[in-house]
Amino acid sequence: MLRSVAVPVIDDLAIFEFGLLGEVFGLDRSWYTDIPRIDFRVCGLEAGRPVTTQVGTAIIPPLDLSAMDDADVVAVPAAGIRPDDQYPAELIEALQRAAARGAIMLSACSGAFVLGAAGLLDGRPCTTHWRNAADLQRRHPTARVDEDVLFVDDGDIITSAGTAAGIDASLHLVRRELGSAVANVIARNMVVPPQRDGGQRQYIPRPVPEPDCDELADVIAFMNDRLHEQHSVAALAARAHMSTRTFARRFVAETGVTPMQWLTAQRVLHARLLLESTDAPIDEIAASCGFGSGTLFRHHFTREVGVAPTAYRRSFAGTPVPREQMSATA
């Protein structure tokens, strides 16, 4: 459930990581859409006591740590990493209480160190900024730190890599709890991708980079606008004014995946939104996403997401969106 999010802040706060949590969870978007408003609580060791930040300003949390006691999610932003995990005892105890009662724990960047200091990462898969991953592993030897991912969703604990990966993890949590349509509206207003390369699986790979080559960027935009159409590598190469071999080699070098792998991942992502937001039959979704048959669609969807389309729909379907409105939420 995602009705309330508590954000505990301490001195030497990283303002961007704090801000992204506010942007995703704290803004009231209910005035122009039916997205539910989230009860967003900023709390500190003492209500009204200024908290220093890394950019020379301060913020004043209006609440104390008791605001965490019944929050659905506790989101820990990055702050300066303390030697020997010397974080405030009151905060550590509040985090332990929240985890014990079943709250979802989310960290942005080095916020993972705070969760680790509370003993919440022991034996768990997790991540943090690649620069600090070795230090996190050294401090918590039983944690399974993976520096090669955007974020790790381990159910009740979600940890994200450096800086902007906190956006990915936060949108993933929104998608997981409220559905793709809600996550897409938030992402669109933030002018960020609703989901970078990955899926519902626990470990989310680093994003496919934007190609530096204008020809490839044009081809990617062309494919993205025409997911329902069939594309061959030869035709895409011709559009990029390259030989087939050169195009395939450049595409992999720029994005890390083949053109067909990229296309399949985007088709599956669009199919997820349709499964959640419409009542369209599986075969119709398969056709609208460019899969040649329902059987082929089920194969690729299950391989990418980990569950079959019908099972995914049972778990994530919300109120169907009329098909003529899908462009507004995609």
pLDDT computed for residue 200 by the predictor: 33
pLDDT computed for residue 182 by the predictor: 87
pLDDT computed for residue 321 by the predictor: 44
Residue 19 and residue 16: Cα distance in Å, rounded? 5
Q: Cβ(13)–Cβ(75) under 8 Å?
A: no
- Amino acid (1-letter code) at residue 176: R
Find the mean pLDDT for residues 221-225.
89
Q: Cβ(106)–Cβ(76) under 8 Å?
A: yes
What band does 207 get if pLDDT is binned at 50, 70 and 90? low
This prediction's pTM: 0.68
Find the mean pLDDT for residues 126-130.
94
Ordered by where they begin, the domains of the chain are 4-205 (3.40.50.880), 209-330 (1.10.10.60)
* 256-307 residue pLDDT tens: 889 999 899 889 888 988 998 889 999 999 999 999 899 999 999 988 887 8
What band does 216 get if pLDDT is binned at 50, 70 and 90? confident
How many other C-beta atoms can be found within 10 angstroms of the C-beta atom of residue 230? 10
67-94 exposure pattern, b = at least 16 Cβ within 10 A, e = fewer: bbeebbbbbbbbbebbeeeebbeebbeb
What band does 123 get if pLDDT is binned at 50, 70 and 90? very high
What band does 210 get if pLDDT is binned at 50, 70 and 90? low
